[in-house]
Amino acid sequence: MEDSFEAYGERLASRLMVGTAAYPSPAVLADAVDASEAAVVTVGLRRTLASGGDNGFLAGLLARLTARGVRLLPNTAGCRTAAEAVSLARMTRELYGTHWVKLEVVGDEYTLQPDPWQLLEAAETLVGEGFAVFPYATDDLLLCQRLFDAGCQVLMPWGAPIGSGQGLLNPWALATLRARLPQAVLVLDAGLGSPAHAAQAMELGFDAVLLNSAIAHAGDPVGMARAFARVVAGARAGYLAGVMAPQPMAVASTPVCGQPLLVG
């Protein structure tokens, strides 16, 4: 049975979302995105503008993806204030023809941690303007609650600082988010380094994962994209099947008491 999920009223067939930055070549990027079978692909407008505008290849790739039903998720990466992020979001809506936006407002240059106050301010403004906002946040429960109350149906808490590959540094906080925000769509975003990290997020009950560096910086990005696709689907199936509760001590899987013995 297909295990799709819904974001802002749209059904998404894959629970893996991928980025488009830092790949070794355009050809590898295209093949990796195809191998990931991602339902959502992010693209940074600032990066596009910094490179002198769309170079034709990215436009062709995005056109191919949208024709296949893949959703584009422009982001506001690089913004430092709410006003800056709102302005860039408005530009992405005009240039990419979508009201979906991944909202990023960074407050610390070392950790690239989101600024909670600026993030919430920008989210409130964009929701009021009809945007479907995907806010990149920390795993702070109160911040995520405020964002959800502001109209952000999808929340994207980090697992670790972006690009660090450290995995889920605070599984307890992430599990708390899942338990306290059952109506929110939770996407684990940032800090994943391996498919095992993605599996851990899915087994916590997260709806999806978004990653870029773990694939783009892999020795074989295409192979890694395929691995993430399989692991995310498998871990989600395991979560739905019901992962056994850990035990404080050994429990025999084949009890011998009361069982016939075969003696040869």
Q: Which residues are catalytic?
A: 102
Crossing angle of helices 26-36 and 221-241, in 10° steps, is 20
87 labeled part of a ligand binding site: no
190 labeled part of a ligand binding site: yes
- Is residue 60 within 8 Å of residue 47, measured between CB atoms? no
Distance CA(209)–CA(202), nearest Å, equals: 8
- Give the DSSP per-residue string, 172-208: HHHHHHHHH-TTSEEEEES---SHHHHHHHHHTT-SE
Distance CA(11)–CA(147), nearest Å, equals: 22
Distance CA(150)–CA(132), nearest Å, equals: 12
First and final CA of the chain: distance in angstroms? 46
212 labeled part of a ligand binding site: yes
DSSP percent split of the chain into helix, strand, coil, nearest 5: 40, 15, 40
Distance CA(29)–CA(12), nearest Å, equals: 21
Which residues does the annotation place in the binding site?
A: 163, 190-191, 212-213
Which residues does the annotation place in the binding site for 1-deoxy-D-xylulose 5-phosphate?
A: 163, 190-191, 212-213
